Amino acid sequence: MRVVIQRVSEASVTIENTVVSAMNSGLLILLGIEAADSKEDIKWLSKKIVNLRIFNDENGIMNNSLVTNKGDAIIVSQFTLQASTKKGNRPSYIKAAKPTIAIPLYKEFITQFEMQLGKKVGTGTFGADMKVTLVNEGPVTIIIDSKKRE
């Protein structure tokens, strides 16, 4: 699994002119799932994200996590995060999981994340044409790959 995490002061997801998720302070999480991903990737990644200390404390130092700040989150599926640009100029999405694999893993990731966070999160709709808006705070943007665990 690959994620792009953005610390935001606001974010929303709109589908067909209808806002389906909106939030203020927290994390916008773009999630790319590959066929080789498992529940182990989900557990590791969700725990890592909710505990990342990327929010400012009272001294302005990034020392607080999403849990500590009681922040919100929106999780959006994004298969293009699995793009390979190794050959040529047209990205290959061969590593991206097919919907039969990706949808259950996406739903499980949301469930696990909510359990770790202790509250519901916003989402997009798998496979939908979504308009995602955000105000990146900082800016703070972090990329994590569950296969590399760096």
- Would you name the residues annotated as active-site residues? 80
d(CA 133, CA 110): 20
Token pair 């949301």 in the structure block, residue: 110
How many Cα atoms sit within 13 Å of 2 on the Cβ side?
Answer: 14
d(CA 5, CA 41): 16
d(CA 115, CA 104): 16
d(CA 129, CA 11): 16
